[in-house]
Amino acid sequence: MSALRRLPAAPLSLAAGAMVWEVIGRAAGVSFFPPLSTVLDRLGEMAADGALLASVRDSLLNLLLGTAISLVAGIVIGVAMGRSRRVEAALGVYVYALLTAPSLVFAPVFFSLFGAGRGAVVAVIVMYAVFVVIVNTAAAVQAVPAHLEEMARSYGAGERQLLPRVVLPAATPMIMAGVRLGVGRAVTGMLNGEMFIAVVGLGHIVTEAGGSFDSASVLAVLLIVIAVALVAIALVQAADRRLTRWVPQTAKGAQGK
Amino acid sequence: MIEIHGLSKTFTDRRGDTVTALDDARLDVAENEFLTLLGPSGCGKTTLLKCIAGLVPYDSGTIEIDGRPIQGPGPDRAMVFQNFALLPWASVVDNVAFGLRLRGVARAEREERARELVATMGLAGFEKKLPGELSGGMQQRVGIARALAVQPQVLLMDEPFGAVDEQTRRLLQEELLALWEEQRPTVVFVTHSMEEAVLLGDRVALMSARPGRVAELVPVDLPRPRARGGGPDRSGVYAELTAYLWDRLREMHEEHRTVRTGAPA
Amino acid sequence: MTRLNARLPYQILTFALFAAAWELYARARGGLLLPGFFETLRATGALLAEPELWRALYVSNQALVLGFAIALALGIPLGILLGRFRTLERYADVWLNILLVTPMAAIIPLLVMWTGIGLTSRTALVTVFSIVMVIVNSRAGVRQVDPSLIEMARSFGAREREIFTRVLLPGALPAVMTGVRLGLGRAVTGMVIVELLMISDGVGGLILEYRGLLKAPPLYATIVIILAEALLLISAARWCERRLTHWSRTTATRANLAGSPK
């Protein structure tokens, strides 16, 4: 892997970007683009006053619920679509349509179904995350080589053993790629949902700060949200590495998509 | 004619380890000769071929064609690739005409020449097909036609029949022999098959892996034409030569194993 | 064709079940904010006759067309450069990965502070939403080009410019078109989001207006129409993609056939 060779490039590039931000922010002196140091100061102030922590907790709970629902529903539906032509025929078009549709337009619907609260935000997160998990899981299950299944059947494996012992393990690398994408989208869904419904969480802060043209707060929250997304994705990747140790190193780069 | 003297090439992989592919390699190829390059895998035969093609820069030594040192790829050489290397978006004719197009040959002329070669290679009727719609054997016929289209003095072939099935390979070998016997270009042909080396070559250059150089030049004393049923007598010289080459290759493999494990095999 | 026909009954069944569940739920729990399926259908028909809708669509799509055109004009060349020049890519990679997970909606307030609540802000947001997808896919397209094709071209004497025009660009086209399609999806998302969250104009503004007036049926009808536009645009992009990159399926099919006996 080229990960080793890459190691110095990423921090270097990040540091350079941070510096450019700081310099341009100071030189421009405009309200909508404060320098990084101002944003970090604001982040410190917000952290000190405690309200931020409560919002982060709220948001993380939303994210956790939404992600959990998306993963369970996504993998179950995806496996069903991958294994059964009828389920695929019944759901395929709709799943693909909703995968690319602008998910936030459903927010008003969830608003009227679940009221202005956690339920609606979680529903928006699921709307953002679930379809990419379904699509990847279905594709993964369909891509399991037929000869593996034939081999297992020739040793007398029944349908009930086939799924947990052959199909799911073989499909795991691609399913995890979908989970990674799903978690990233869940974070976006969390912030967008909270911005629209605007009663709880980090999105609420962004909407309020944006309304009073407090750009430092907006960017401070954005930094937190990016950090949440990167940590969540790192967790998925750690899980992926544990689950797919058998995949040869050379093939790993190829599953990136 | 091609003259190679003291050619050395060392690769550095990503970890920083160095691999010596060629070490003081020496080889002469005569005008109009069909030379096959045979050796164990990893002996640097493809590297040597790519050095002649001008695709791989070498560390030291010289490669001269008719007394002129080579500097990068040139119009006097054309290469046929193991994995065909056809442009998947271009039709058969456009693939064959690719080299001509790069040389600025006008459209009408290059298409005419490409069509002629497509017909020569037995692909008439497939001019507008895409490579993905052809079998492996047909794809390599396109690859050979593309190389012939630029009328090279030297044809460089890198295990061209390594990716097709046994029966297709036989057919392609016979077609190549017939073409060569008619046009007599100088050919350097890399292979890992003893049978193929003997069947096609005027001489077999046997390469050793460590050091990567030509260990022995074996003349192939078989009558021509060898194509189309006029093939070699399988019980006589042909069988002796392939058996001899295998003995030499097996020695190399065993030496290699001894070196690696530190114990006699 | 036969496969399509075999799928159709299942697709209709799914839709019928969904519509029935919606209708029954709306009747049982129905309130001011939840119209039934048929009521929504009727409202959609009525809304399509309203000039107000077409004005809103015009306003929204102005930003979409401009913003997406800018995203393509900048994103495709940038992605191709990143794919060809590894050093550049090594430094850009970390930023692209961050941008891919950044919820761009959060920068809407900053955009508004910068350029006001006009067309410029909405256009910029559409660009910001879609450009990363375009860059990432164009880059992947260049990287996917078989290196042996580059070697082959060099062996026939191709120079860097010819490698670009004759090998890299055509080879990257399928992935670039995928980027265009996915980017278009995100562009539509950006177009609607900016109107829903900050700049109450266009179709997003229409949703907010109907919500404020508690007019549920036209609210739902607007959502239906936005979804329909998104799907139409994406289908059109997919159609172009297929027309332009016919060859990539000839090779892909062969690879699939060779790979799995399914």
Q: Which chains touch C (3 or more CB pairs under 8 A)?
A: A, B
Smallest Cα distance from C201 to chain A, Å = 14
- Using CB atoms, which residue from A92, A103, A213 is nearest to C113? A213
Q: Is A157 contained in some domain?
A: yes
pLDDT category at B12 given cuts 50, 70, 90 is confident
- CA separation for the pair C228, A86 (Å, rounded): 25
Percent of chain A with pLDDT over 90: 19
How much is the average pLDDT of C86-111?
A: 84
Q: β-strands B213-219, B203-208: how paired? A: antiparallel
Q: Is residue A23 part of a domain?
A: no
Least confident residue range of A205-214, B56-65, C11-20: A205-214
What is the C-alpha separation between C217 and C221, in angstroms, rounded? 6
Cα angle B155, B157, B163 (rounded to 5 degrees) comes to 150
List C-alpha distances in Å: B70 to B149, B150, B176.
Answer: 21, 18, 26
Chain C: give the shortest CA distance to residue B39, in Å: 22
**ipTM tops 0.85:** no
Among B236-240, C126-130, C213-217, the range of highest mean pLDDT:
C126-130
CATH number at residue C58: 1.10.3720.10
In this prediction, residue C256 carries a pLDDT of 35
Does pLDDT of C4 surpass 60?
no
Q: Please give the pLDDT value at position B205.
A: 93
pLDDT band at B230 (very low <50, low <70, confident <90, very high): low
Å between B93 CA and nearest CA of chain C = 15
The fraction of chain C above a pLDDT of 90, given in percent, is 26
pLDDT of residue A1: 42
CB nearest to A105's CB, from C102, C105, C227: C227
| pTM assigned to the model | 0.82
Which of the four pLDDT bands, split at 50, 70 and 90, describes residue B118?
Answer: very high
Q: What would the pLDDT profile of B40-73 be if each residue is shown by its tens digit?
A: 887 888 889 999 998 888 888 899 998 889 888 8
Measured between alpha carbons, how far is B180 from B155 in angstroms, rounded to an integer?
A: 10
CATH number at residue A52: 1.10.3720.10
Residue of B nearest to C174 (CA): B89
Residue C226 maps to a domain: yes
- Residue C153: pLDDT band (50, 70, 90) is very high
Domain limits for position A152: 35-245
**In this structure, what token pair is assigned to residue C11?**
């697709």
For chain B, give the number of residues: 265
Give the mean pLDDT of C51-74. Answer: 92
Lowest-pLDDT range, A92-106, A155-169, A239-253, B235-249?
Answer: A239-253
Question: Cβ contact (<8 Å) for A229 and C102?
Answer: yes
Average pLDDT over residues B103-124: 91
The tally of domains found in chain C comes to 1
pLDDT > 50? residue A4? no
In a domain, C44, yes or no: no
Q: Please report where in the chains the tokens 């969540």 appear, as a residue.
A: A232
Q: What is the pLDDT of residue A196?
A: 84
Residue A125: per-residue pLDDT: 93
DSSP string of chain B, one letter each residue:
-EEEEEEEEEEE-TTS-EEEEEEEEEEEE-TT-EEEEE--TTSSHHHHHHHHHTSS--SEEEEEETTEEP-SS-TTEEEE-TT----TTS-HHHHHTHHHHHTT--HHHHHHHHHHHHHHTT-TT-TT--GGGS-HHHHHHHHHHHHHHT--SEEEEESTTTTS-HHHHHHHHHHHHHHHHHH--EEEEEES-HHHHHHH-SEEEEEETTTTEEEEEEE----S--STT----TTTHHHHHHHHHHHHHHHHHHHHHHHHHSS--
pLDDT in tens, A19-48: 888 888 888 878 788 888 888 888 888 888
In this structure, is residue A90 part of a structural domain? yes
Cβ atoms of residues B218 and B204 within 8 Å: yes
pLDDT tens figures, C26-45: 888 766 678 888 888 998 99
Query: Does C32 fall in a domain?
Result: no
What is the residue range of C121's domain?
Answer: 50-243
Mutation choice for C interface testing from B47, B87, B130 by most C CBs within 10 A: B87
Contact list in C for residue B53 (CB cut-off 8 A) is 155
pLDDT averaged over chain A?
84
pLDDT average, residue stretch B22-32: 89
DSSP letter string, B220-238: ----S--STT----TTTHH
Mean pLDDT over the full length of chain B: 86
Partner-chain residue, chosen from C226, C259, C261, that has the shortest CB–CB distance to A102: C226
Task: Grade residue B265 by pLDDT with cuts at 50, 70 and 90.
Answer: very low
- A122 occurs within a structural domain: yes
Look at residue B143 and tell me whether its pLDDT is greater than 60.
Answer: yes
pLDDT, average across residues B198-216: 88
Whether residue A28 is contained in a domain is answered as: no
Number of domains observed in the structure of chain A: 1
Higher pLDDT among residues A188 and A161, named by residue: A188
8 Å CB contact of C153 and B102: yes
Q: How far apart are the first and last CA of chain B?
A: 41
Residue A257 clears pLDDT 70, i.e. is over it: no
In a domain, C149, yes or no: yes
Domain contains C107: yes
pLDDT of residue B44: 85
What pLDDT, on a 0 to 100 scale, did the predictor assign at position A88? 86
Residue B259: per-residue pLDDT = 61
Q: pLDDT category, B234, cuts 50, 70, 90?
A: low
Q: Do C155 and B131 touch (CB under 8 A)?
A: no
pLDDT tens for each residue of B152-176: 999 999 999 988 888 889 889 988 9
Q: Residue C158: list chain B partners with CB under 8 A.
A: 102
State chain C's mean pLDDT as an integer.
85
> Which range in A240-244, B189-193, C88-92 is most confidently predicted, on average pLDDT?
B189-193
Whether A7 maps to a domain, the answer reads: no
